[in-house]
């Protein structure tokens, strides 16, 4: 509906002012092409947890960084020996 109104408004501008240069009448799409999908649709990581190649990019990054964080923290806790208790004499 909005595009029809925009089209009608531009038509009235075209007929009202003929002295404009033709370059001003070119329709600009802006970022409308970003919604075009190329290839298979991506899914959320919890919908298909066994296929990382089908995950959305941002979900893959979150899961990867979380996994690395858990691995590094687990390694630190394992090899650092934990908190040493002091014996009071």
pTM for the full predicted model: 0.47
Q: What percent of the chain has pLDDT over 90?
A: 27
Count up the domains in the chain and report the number: 1
Residue 38 maps to a domain: yes
Residue 69 maps to a domain: yes
Residue 88 maps to a domain: no
CA distance 68 to 57: 17
- What residues contact 52, with CB distance under 8 A and at least 6 apart? 45, 60, 63
Residue 13 maps to a domain: yes
* Structural domain range at position 40: 2-80
pLDDT per position as a tens digit, 61-83: 999 999 999 999 999 999 987 66
Residue 27 maps to a domain: yes
């Amino acid at each position: 509906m909005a595009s029809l109104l925009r089209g009608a408004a531009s038509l009235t501008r075209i007929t009202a002012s003929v002295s404009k240069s033709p370059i001003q009448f070119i329709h600009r799409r802006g970022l409308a092409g970003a919604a075009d999908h190329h290839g298979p649709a991506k899914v959320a990581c919890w919908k298909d947890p066994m296929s990382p190649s089908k995950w959305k990019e941002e979900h893959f990054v979150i899961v990867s960084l979380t996994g690395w964080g858990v691995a590094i923290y687990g390694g630190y806790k394992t090899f650092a020996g934990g908190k040493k208790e002091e014996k009071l004499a």
